[in-house]
Amino acid sequence: LVSVMYANNETGAIQPIREIGALCRKRGVHFHTDAVQAAGHLAIDVQRNKIDMLSLSAHKFHGPKGIGLLFSKSSIQLTSLIRGGGQERGKRAGTENLPGIIGLAAALKDAQENMQQNTAYITGLRDALRNGLDKIDGAGFNGSREHCLPGTVNYSFQGVNGEALLSLLSNEGICCSSGSACSAGSLEPSHVLLALGLSHETAQSALRFSLCEYNTMDEVQTIITKVTEAVNRLRR
């Protein structure tokens, strides 16, 4: 089994899923992709990309929290995690979260139908945010500028503590993060950024910004202004 993120949850970098899928299919290896960050934001074709299994989560495209989905080819033999009744074709026992399932389906349908329009709009916001943050002395972009999600931006700021920066921005009503939600509460620098070759100090200065179709250009300009002010304040 090969399991690869479709898009990284910290940098937004999109992985070469089609090439990986083709290689796995050629070698007779099952291929799973964690598409939590990508679903609802990128056009995903499981047949063309030769994906055997795919997982996603509703809250990443404005659906309810606490509900996810696993796509699996019928030829894949899955071992039951929770045994019991015959629900979910014997794959999982327990009462189904029907409101969550309906909410996931509705949100995904809406995201798919408006994907082209939303992507163009969010990409404009993202590019404006990048251009603004690039002007800050010692700011470093983390990830791929070309192969990336439309709404994820990750920057490190030399000589600044990320948690202190996060606190100042929070006081200004700006919601961002120093890593993924999966590592919330950890004081250690991101293992993703360390693997990219950043130093311990630089990785600890990084922040991740997430944009969506409900954000505005005025908000982006506010982010640029407040980040610039906060970085300069901390350096002083």
CATH 3.90.1150.10 domain range(s) in the chain:
115-235
Report yes or no: 32 and 15 within 8 Å, Cβ to Cβ. Answer: no
pLDDT digits (tens, 9 = 90+) for 4-47: 999 999 999 999 999 999 999 999 999 999 999 999 999 999 99
Q: pTM for the complete prediction?
A: 0.90
CATH 3.40.640.10 residue ranges of the chain are 2-113
Calculate mean pLDDT across residues 100-128. 97
Q: How confident is the model at residue 113 (pLDDT cuts 50, 70, 90)?
A: very high
Assess whether 182 carries a catalytic annotation: yes
Q: CA–CA separation, 167 vs 176, rounded Å?
A: 10
* Alpha-carbon span 210 to 176, nearest angstrom: 7
Q: What is the pLDDT of residues 211-236, one digit of tens each?
A: 999 999 999 999 999 999 999 999 99
Domain 115-235 has CATH 3.40.190.10: no
Give 3-state DSSP helix, strand, coil % of the chain, rounded to 5.
40, 15, 40
Regarding the domain delimited by 2-113, which CATH topology (the fold level of the hierarchy) does it fall under? Aspartate Aminotransferase; domain 2 (3.40.640)
Residue carrying structure tokens 């350096």: 235
Which one is catalytic: 175, 176, 182, 212? 182
